[in-house]
Structure 1
Amino acid sequence: MKVAKFGGSSLANATQIKKVGEIIKSDPERKFIVVSAPGKRDQADTKMTDLLIQMGDSYINGLQYEDDFLRIMDRFAEITEELNLSNELLNEFESTIKTVLTKDQIITDKLDAIKAIGEDSSAKIVSAYLQSLGLDAHYINPLDAGIIVSDEPGNAQILPGSLAKIYSLHQKDGILVIPGFFGYTEQGKLATFSRGGSDITGSIIAAGVKAELYENFTDVNSVYSVNPNIVENPKEITILTYKEMRELSYAGFSVFHDEALIPVIKEKIPICIKNTNNPDAQGTYIVSEREVKEDECVSGIASDTGFCSLYVSKYLMNREIGFGRKLLGILEDEGISFEHAPSGIDDMSVIIRERNFPPAKEAIVLNRIKEELHADTVSLHRGIAIIMVVGEGLVNTIGVANKAISALAEARVNIEMINQGSSEVSMMFGIQSSDIDRAIKSIYRAYFEKNN
């Protein structure tokens, strides 16, 4: 029994949805289907979720929103007409949008309800199309599926007890099509996961029904060892562990949401990343454990931009009990979450995503650190990128760090920060964002192209 999740590129238009139908039809073990909102039809196109957000923002701010509404309806009409589906679906979508826009509720709740329309409508379209193929398919609302989440609009978390409710889906006949990206609170209020959260829904359903396999269909044949937009024709990865995939996803591998692994990790359900446009390709399997070959200690190299580094130095910092706690406490007071905190004897760096550290908070935080912690030096450096070298073999391989450091030196890239040891499967380097492409190419050559 399989759970199959289809991403936005797999549902962008009627042609893609027909491919989805053939994939589902070809394997009767694909009983639970999770869908995203329609994605981009081409590079210049706009994702359905972005159109919905744009419309919602305009409506809430009293601006003209009718053009966005028409674009959304035209997009749905194009899909349903090409699939020869009933006009009743279009009428339902129009009614849903108008009801959500005019409903009296707080802004965050309204925006979540607007964003969820894309996935919800996708599920109804796919369900109706599968029925037109003669399959016994049914749309299932996340509330009826048992997806109960915390009351955190835009960042909902699955609640304990939900998986037991989801398991009862086994009692339903046929193919069940479930919209991704959102669930319902215990009070019955809709709440979305973080962006890209349909992967999370798929993982939750797979864990809940105790699937033998969770298939995640996207638009690539496999996960690559490095971003193919930076390195031409990179090596494909056939198998990864949960730890490796989580590290790679966190640091910029957009093929899989980094939070989506958590439910399946607990149940040890294997994942397979597959291509809707080439479903017979092997894909990439993500499993709990794998055999590591000596000459393949590194699985992948990920990178992400948009970080800043908060540097704090104080003589004899290591002797001051509670210094780190107080420093992080200041960030907590100001509502700033951090990513990493490598430290030395007299200094400490805190890596923060720039979006979480608005310039308006900068002077406040720096002054508090100086005055409350009596630091000798406090500075903030923006425009930082991180590079993650990931592999299960890192911990047992001699000289693996030297390869990356030498590669960065060859590329004439200055290392702002190194964090090795906090994870057994990754090394992290901080560099200037402007050097990212040059750095990645050099590190890739060191691990995957040179005969060392």
Structure 2
Amino acid sequence: MKIVKFGGSSLSSGVQIRKVFQIVKSDPERRIVVVSAPGKRFKGDVKITDLLLKLAEAILNEEKTAQIYEQIFLRYQAIGDFFKIPRSGIEQLKEHLYSVAQADYPSNDFFRAALSAQGENMSAHLITLIFKQLGLKARLLTPKEVGLTVSGEARKAQILPGSYAKIAKTKFTDNEVLIFPGFFGITKNGLINTFSRGGSDITGAILARGFGADLYENFTDVDSIYAVNPGLVADPAPIKEMTYNEMRELSYAGFAVFHDEAILPAIQGKIPICVKNTNRPEMPGTKIVPRDKVSHKNKITGIASSHHFQAIYLHRYLINREVGFTAKILKIMADLNISYEHMPSGIDDLTIILDKNQLTNGRKEKLTQRIKDEIQPDDLQWRNDYAIIMVVGEGLVNRVGAMADIVDPIRDAGISLTMVNQGSSEISIMLGVRPEDEQKAVKAIYNDHFENGHPKKELQIPRASFKSVSKSLIANFFV
């Protein structure tokens, strides 16, 4: 059995949904279809989820909402008309959305969660009607029906472990296709709560584990996952196969094709994933599998980057000898509900890299003041714009000269590093650069390791390169 998830671009119009229908119909193993909210149809279009969030803000601010409602309903109406779905089906969606918008919620964030989840919810209802109209025996299945229970922090839902056993008990017949809305689950108190944005990937992975699927297919709008952002490099190398850990590292660092949290249920259930293109389903796509199932180990699998970070740099002599120094900082951050991404350190220095989306509502100022008061560093500096580049590959493990291979092309491009860190798993090397150097650095690494859409052949690393990299690291670490 296969769990199949379709992203917003795959469900943006009647034309696209017809492709989805043909994909599902072509393989009887595709039994459970997870759907997103309709995405953009063209450049400048607006995703349904964004319209719903805009609606939520308008309601909260007591602003006019008629035009936003109309934009939302017209999208679903256009899809329904394409398949000649009776208008009564769309009217039911309208009534449902109005009722959700008028209900009571314990907080504004739970109101936003409930409203934003309706893109997937209405999509699932409509696609069920469409599949039936086109001759498939389709049935709508909801998170409440299968017991997909999530945690209670609004808009940051996490699956509760007991959900998997409940999902496994769900009954369905051999000749029916189940349609399931992605992106949300139900709390123990019966509230709708959403995963982080892009969370339909997570839903698909949860169901794949819960139902014990043989494969989780994730359909999007690209032929495969590429070794680098196609916006930076023309005709980048496609990744044919990669490990769960490689995908998680790359997704976290900026690969937008697949949600990094969606890897976890697949890992736990040992469910292979295949990312494919709705517009060209005959293409093989990218397989994501356990490490022992990978048939090749290129030195570098992919290069990702992101600049949604800030870094706080602390200097105080002999912090390496002070027992509990880091614990004091982490306690302050925990009090302010701030998590950190990375914390590279030296004997007298510590850099804490944070997702800057957390530093709102005065938390940055509070964090700064408490560290000054309680830690009393000799120097404290904020680096307000901070870019991270992640170079990932199972082939980096136990490879002599791996760091030189990554750092040398950056040095040759005249780029100064602000941080270098290799993960304990050895499959990733993280580099900090100034935001203005981010794209140049990514292209320098890629061009040094890939050519004509394929990894370059291995070359013997000259000894001089080790000297150059050590000098480069000494000169650039925490510059």
TM-score (norm 1): 0.97
Distance 1:422 1:348 in 2: 18
Aligned to 2:259: 257
Q: Return the offset for 1:303.
A: 0.5
Please state how far the C-alpha of 1:292 moved relative to its aligned partner: 6.4
- The partner residue of 2:425 within 402, 423, 426 is 423
The match for 1:112 is 113
Q: What is the CA-CA distance between 1:362 and the residue it aligns to?
A: 3.2
Task: Select between 263-272 and 373-382 the one with higher mean Cα deviation.
Answer: 373-382
Residue 143 of structure 1 aligns to which amino acid in structure 2? Answer: K
Cα drift, residue 104 of structure 1: 2.2
Greater Cα shift, 360-369 or 186-195: 360-369
Query: Structure 1's 293 and 275: CA in aligned 2 closer, same or farther, altered over 3 A?
Result: closer
Count residues in correspondence: 451
Q: Would the aligned equivalents of 1:292 and 1:392 in 2 still touch at CA under 8 Å?
A: no
Secondary structure of 1:358's aligned partner: coil
- 1:39 — aligned with what? 39
Query: What code does the residue aligned with 2:196 have?
Result: S
1:127 alignment partner, SS class = helix
Distance in 2 (CA, whole Å) between partners of 1:367 and 1:55 is 37
Report how far residue 423 of structure 1 moved.
Answer: 3.3
Question: Does the C-alpha gap of structure 1 residues 81 and 216 become closer, same or farther in structure 2, counting only changes over 3 Å?
Answer: same
Paired letter, 1:277: N
| Percent of matched pairs sharing the same residue | 45
The residue aligned with 1:448 is 450
Distance 1:164 1:291 in 2: 29
Distance 1:346 1:41 in 2: 53
Counterpart amino acid of residue 264 in structure 1? A
Change (3 A) 1:222 1:256: same
Out of 412-421 and 174-183, give the one that drifted further.
412-421
Alpha-carbon distance, 1:22 to partner: 0.2
Deviations 1:330-357 (A, max 9, x none): 1122222110111111111110011112
Q: Which amino acid in 1 is paired with 2:9?
A: S
CA distance in 2, matches of 1:69, 1:328: 45
Matched, 1:345 2:347: yes
1:128 aligns with 129
Aligned-partner Cα distance in 2 for 1:233–1:399: 28
Q: Counterpart in 1 of 2:25?
A: 25
Correspondence list, 1:42-441, <5 A: 42-105=42-105, 106-172=107-173, 174-289=176-291, 290-291=293-294, 293=296, 296-358=298-360, 360-441=362-443
What is the rounded CA distance, in whole Å, between the counterparts of 1:149 and 1:33 in structure 2? 20
Range with greater deviation from structure 2 (176-185 or 353-362): 353-362
CA deviations 1:248-305 (Å, max 9, x no partner) are: 00000000000001111011000000100000100000001244657x2110000111
Give, in whole Å, the separation in 1 of the partners of 2:423 and 2:11: 41
Q: Could you tell me whether the CA contact under 8 Å between 2:242 and 2:294 is conserved in 1?
A: no
Q: Distance in 2 between matches of 1:88 and 1:275?
A: 33
State the distance in 2 between where 1:179 and 1:442 align: 41
Seen in structure 2, the aligned counterparts of structure 1 residues 309 and 359 have a Cα distance that, compared at 3 Å, is farther
CA RMSD of aligned residues (A): 1.4
Between the aligned partners of 1:315 and 1:23, the Cα distance in structure 2 is 62
1:172 & 1:377 partners in 2: Cα distance?
Answer: 66
3-state SS, counterpart of residue 170 of structure 2: helix
Describe the SS at the equivalent of 1:108. Answer: helix
Give the Cα separation in 2 of the matches to 1:416 and 1:42. 39
- Counterpart code for 2:163: S
CA distance in 2, matches of 1:238, 1:88: 45
Partner SS, residue 397 of structure 2: helix
Q: Any gaps of 5 or more consecutive residues in structure 2?
A: 460-479
Paired residue type of 2:136: L
Cα distance in 1 between the residues matched to 2:98 and 2:369 = 48
SS at match of 1:191: strand
Structure 1 residues 293 and 287, CA gap change in structure 2 (3 angstroms): closer
User: In structure 1, what is the Cα distance between the partners aligned to 2:442 and 2:136?
Assistant: 47
Structure 1 stretch displaced more, 170-179 or 389-398: 170-179
Quote the offset at 1:401 in angstroms: 1.2
Amino acid aligned to 1:120: N
Give the letter for the 1:128 counterpart: L
Please, which moves more after superposition, 19-28 or 284-293?
A: 284-293
Distance (whole Å) between structure 2 residues aligned to residue 364 and residue 151 of structure 1: 26
Q: Distance in 2 between matches of 1:421 and 1:250?
A: 14
Q: Which amino acid aligns with 1:108?
A: D
| Partner of residue 465, structure 2 | none
SS in 1 for 2:169: helix
- 2:469 aligns to what? none
Does the 8 A contact of 1:251 with 1:387 survive in 2? yes
| Cα 1:401–1:139 shift into 2, 3 Å | same
Counterpart AA for 1:230: L
